[in-house]
A = this chain, B = another copy of it.
Amino acid sequence: MTTPVRRRDAAATRKALLDAARRRFAADGYTSTSVRDIASDAGVNVALISRYFESKEGLFRACLRGTVDDLKQSVFENLPLTDPPRQLAEKLAGPHTKEPNQLLLLLRTSGDETAERIRRETLESISRRLATAAGSDSDDPRILLNAQVVLSAALGVLILRSAALQPLAAADQDQLAEPLRVMIAALLPG
């Protein structure tokens, strides 16, 4: 590992902070993560967080926006959805599982009302997308409720996997895809 003579590059430093923060916040949550942890991970000084993101909450909001953007792009790339349960399983237990799953960020709360709004709107958007993707009869309000239960299951799986609950935590995406398929077939026909 050649020591990379870290050159001065605001954009790169900003990104390093953002990446470190997204890992930490996703893995440990907002209050359990200190700005010094993040700066240390990124290999830069703490003061730069305030400089580039205004505050710890500003950094958290930036993380949320990043994750939301990644999510949008990811579903956009995979349109049309050929096999939703399988693609969901990929998101929950994909092969790149050494990193903490970014979707966990959608479950982390900071107390900041702006971040909370982004979070809520994103979850709402996802569940609506799920409901309409189910097609059939998207006017039926029960379909939206079913979609939110499916979303609950997906995010619950993330949490219980991060809690090392076996055998769920050790299941690969193939094993996980099966119950997801059954559940989705039951709750979101179409």
Contacts and interface: CB of A to CB of B under 8 A. Distances in A.
A182 interface: yes
Interface string A21-50: 000000001011000000000000000000
Interface in A132-181: 141-142, 144-146, 148-157, 159-160, 163-168, 171, 175-176, 178-180
A62 interface: no
A187 B178 contact: no
A111 interface: yes
A123 B157 CA distance: 12
A135 B187 CA distance: 22
A168 B145 contact: yes
Contact of A120 (B119, B124, B146, B163): B163
A165 B148 contact: yes
